[in-house]
Structure 1
């Protein structure tokens, strides 16, 4: 069992196979247009869990723990763990936004414009969408460029690395703050309305 579950890619394939078995076993006869909108919603949620899960990992675990890590062990995080986590973090952010916009455009006659303009009935989801867009922009245009310098992925002198690390941390903490009302808005729209 350790050989199977110890292999990330194999475990992921098994999860996808089980997903397909559940999909076709439970809903094989109901795969119309409405079903595929729900499928997009599932993918949007999956990507969002990955994105926000990594955001919370950075803010609850990595950032507070790094000052306690002995200097000789820090490269293990900065050269291996952080770049890998940032890869999934930034691409999950992009996937979450794209899939979320697709869900909004394939649901209820398409409501992206109504939500983003905060039209009555769509304010809650619209606020969640705006917060998500701001957070994704933070990931791609502030956190990632600064982390590349801070982690030495691109050349920078020590002073610039330190400033970039601080900027990335502030943007990450901003996303942590924004994620709380964003998650509230995303979840409550379908239960409370807008």
Structure 2
């Protein structure tokens, strides 16, 4: 077999492996979605998502649906997104299983903790947004509504708002992982990151002002954890670099 043929066969085998991993990841999401459809069901899943908003509305108030198919499509979308979040560790495991055979032992010690921590941190960010941020933000916004306005949020607009907020907080909680990767790959040193700490704090508040509603509560709720997670990354980076060094790097 020629070298070119061997390379082509290897490339095809990687594509087949990638396809299998994508199928397994999709099956994991489908199973999580199927379980949510059976129990508690799309309507209850959406009620759970809408609970922080409903708690901020006057007693007896409800949300509205302006689209004909919205009462069906929106709960289904929420169920699918929640299934993806629940299956995220399985999806990241498939990513890990795909790249692991081509890694050295010290590289596996680098990737596996990052895969696990990335999924857990993203889920923690979404949970922090739902359980801590939403209730305070919605109460803060509702307090400014004039008495002449009946606050009746549309379920589609509410879903877009919630998804963007959860994505922002989930991505924000990845800051320690980003710091560790930058330091481990040699792009920047911990000392350099510490020296630009004031700029990082300003950047955190700028990002919070851009991706959150124009209220102080949500901006602080995003910026402060971002700053704390940046500090956590600075603490973990040296330890992580030391543990994942290649044998020749110890010499």
User: Structure 2 length as normaliser, TM-score?
Assistant: 0.28
Structure with greater helix share of residues = 1
User: Is the radius of gyration larger for structure 1 or structure 2?
Assistant: 2
User: Structure 1 length as normaliser, TM-score?
Assistant: 0.34
